[in-house]
Amino acid sequence: MKNKIQDPELFKAIKVFLTSYLPHIKKCSKHTVEAYKYALNIFFEYLSVVNGIPLTRTKAADFSQQNIVGFMEWLLNSRNNIATTANQRLTNLRGFCKYLRKNNLISFVEYEEICEIGEIADTRTPEFSWLSIDEIKMILEQPNVSKKTGVRDRFFLALLYESGCRDDEILHLKVKDFVVNSRGEPDIHIWGKGQKYRCTPISANILPYYRAYCAIYHSEIEKEQEELLFYTERNGIKTAMSSDNVQRFMRTYEKQIKAGGTEIIHLHPHLFRRTRAMHLYIAGVPLPLVSEWLGHSNEETTRIYAKATDEMKRRAQQKVNEALKEIMEEDPVFKYANDEDVLKKLSGLK
């Protein structure tokens, strides 16, 4: 019987690359492995949708300069990805093509041509900007909570801001990682970049969002502790929610706000992380603890918040001042600034 897979060696290489080479040889984190897996799946989708090449007919030779350039344009124009997202997919594909080259599945010349592909310029305004408390409140009011996806989106956005996490870290949280202690205080337990663990305190004001979400998505929560906290479901099959899905609903809410006559800067996951960091820093939380909160491996990465100009600080103070109002009722930033228990957790003392 004729083999339906045109290039079985390619798929053997993919399996070894994802299950052995990256995690065991390169010691990549599970998040990095997932990023490579996702990039490959999206590339195969492009080949199928645009080039008419189904997965079974895909060959190693399809990883070509021409196809990858077309893939990048498709990400921007058809999937509405931003430049940094498309460039990350390019990095992932280059890494895989390097592995194909090492295993003689593509030639040296083909690999060099792929390496010549330039990154897409990010034409967005490079201003160091963030959101005010009122803007965060307005964003959280956008999801239609009469729909299950609206309940999900509201909780996701609130947790993204409250935790200061990367969106990838939120997407990899399991149900067991959101913990409410005996005093009714929630924490989330995160394995970040480089498998670095941290525990981040969350305001109790997020609990109504969390409970409304779990009532729909984790109705048997005690049995679902090992499941992903956020997921999508199609035909009864649960899969991890993608970063593209997050970008899609953020674009929807950005458009809703602008359609209502209010101007707002472009919404993207990192903006929520930056906003939380600025709110913490302006509130007086010491920079080393902001660094711990964000999970930065090097405190120098966090110093960008300390190097904001005086004018930016004045603008930020106006945004945060607003009678020190919290998004949902009280601002955990100010509560945490003098909370020894929380500071000990962030410092690794507890």
Please tell me the predicted confidence (pLDDT) of residue 297: 52
Q: Can you list the positions of beta strands (E) in 86-159?
A: none
SS3 21: helix
- Please give the C-alpha separations between residue 30 and each of 16, 18, 20, 215, in angstroms, as whole numbers: 15, 10, 12, 29
Q: What is the rounded distance in angstroms from the CA atom of residue 86 to the CA atom of residue 247? A: 13
Please tell me the predicted confidence (pLDDT) of residue 249: 96
Please tell me the predicted confidence (pLDDT) of residue 314: 47
Q: What is the rounded distance in angstroms from the CA atom of residue 251 to the CA atom of residue 123? A: 17
Q: What is the rounded distance in angstroms from the CA atom of residue 82 to the CA atom of residue 88? A: 10
Please tell me the predicted confidence (pLDDT) of residue 52: 95
User: Which residue do the tokens 């030639």 mark?
Assistant: 107
Angle of helix 30-49 versus helix 65-77 axis, rounded to 10? 90
Please tell me the predicted confidence (pLDDT) of residue 125: 54
Please tell me the predicted confidence (pLDDT) of residue 298: 53
Please tell me the predicted confidence (pLDDT) of residue 341: 58
Q: Which residues of the chain have pLDDT under 50?
A: 1-2, 299-302, 306-314, 316-317, 319, 321-325, 330-337, 343-344, 346-350
Q: What is the rounded distance in angstroms from the CA atom of residue 25 to the CA atom of residue 316? A: 45
- Judged on CB neighbours under 10 Å (0-12, 13-18, 19+), 126 is exposed
